[in-house]
Every structure is written in C-alpha cells, then in structure tokens.
Amino acid sequence: MSYTQEESLLQYSQRLMSYTRPLISDIPEMQSYMWKSQQEYVHMDIPASLQRYERMRRELGALFNRLKMLLEKGLIDESSINEILEQKIIFEERRVELEEKYHSKVVVVCNGEVFVGETIDDAVAKAKAKHGDRLYYSEALGVTDFPSVLF
C-alpha cells in the first residue's frame, strides 16, 4: 500500500484504514456475540487474530493523526507520512514474531528491513549504516522507557 499523488491525504487515510479488517462488530460471524452489553462483550473470548487486526487499525489511525499534526507544523512532508506508515505496517504485520524473538530489545524498521538493538541508538545506527537518511519507525518491545518527570 502506498500513497499516490492523485488522491488526497484524507482519501489515503481512508484507504489505509480499510487495509486492515473491519471492526469486530462488522464481521458477520462475530455478530452473534453482540447480544451482550458492550462491557461484557469486551471481556469475551475474541480470537487473537481479530484482536490483532483491531489493534493494528487503531494504532495506524493514531499514528496517522500524529503524522498529520507534524505535516501541519511543516516538520514533515506528505511522502514522509507514506514512508513512515509503510514501516509501521511492516512492523505490525510482524509484531507477534518480533515480540517473541526480541523481547526487551528495540526494533527499528527502515526501508522494509528490521534492525534490532539493545537501545534505540544501537538499532538506529544499524539502520542508518545500511539505508542512510531513510525514515524509520521504532518501538521498544516489552520495555517501558519514557521521559520521566515531565509526563
């Protein structure tokens, strides 16, 4: 999936959202579960693969909104949005495998390739050595690491 010049950013975001499966409630075989209240439904045994698609859809939406904000501030351009989202999609598609293999490590996806390091600096250095200035997406797997006092 990639961004084309013919479509607007809004159309692209809609296409991106339709890339993943629809909401669980939209899937016919899941509708029999829906007779219960929303609260009970949340705690039901929803297949892991569907949960994963829901999560992917939600995360892509959140990332897209953040990138749109950066675009409005003039910090990135439209092609950068496309490139970062592509890396995020690759990461989400491989998330389960990466979480099993590289727990407590940092993963960087750059130009479709996965780089792993103990810290983000290690992983980014590997990615930059191979792909130069290409944009990347990074996530620490199973690690909580955030600027402390100011949040």
Partner 1 sequence: MSFFFRSGALYSKIKIMGVVTKEYEALVDTGAAKTGIPINECQKLGLRASGIEWTEGLFGGDYLPLFESKIEFAGKVLDKDIVGLPIRIPIVGRDLIRHLKMTLDWRMLVANVEDP
Q: Where are the beta strands (DSSP E) in the chain?
A: 106-110, 113-117, 136-140
Instruction: Give 117's contacts (C-beta < 8 A, 6+ positions apart).
Output: 105, 106, 108, 123, 124, 125, 126
CA–centroid distance for 38 within its chain: 26
CA 65 to chain CA mean position, Å: 12
The residues, ordered by sequence, that sit 6+ positions from 75 with a Cβ below 8 Å of its Cβ are none
- Which segment (27-35, 37-45, 94-102, 120-128) binds partner 1 by CB under 8 A? 120-128
Q: Give me the 18-57 binding string for partner 1, x by CB under 8 A, dash otherwise.
A: ----------------------------------------
To which H or E segment does residue 11 belong? helix 9-19
Backbone φ, ψ for residue 103 (5° rounding): -60, 135
Nearest distance, CB of residue 123 and partner 1, angstroms: 10
130 touches partner 1 (CB under 8 A): no
From the list 13-21, 39-47, 48-56, 62-70, the region that binds partner 1 by CB under 8 A is 62-70
Under rule CB under 8 A, residue 12 binds partner 1: no
Residues 97-116 that bind partner 1 (CB under 8 A): 108, 110
Tell me how far, at minimum, the Cβ of 39 lies from partner 1, in Å: 21
Please say which residue, 28 or 74, places its beta carbon nearer to partner 1.
74
Residue type for 132, please?
G
Decide: is 75 part of the binding site for partner 1 (CB under 8 A): yes
User: What six digits make up the tokens of 27?
Assistant: 């899937």
Give residues in contact with partner 1 (CB under 8 A).
62-63, 66-67, 70, 73-76, 80, 84, 88, 108, 110, 119-121, 124, 133, 135-140, 143-151
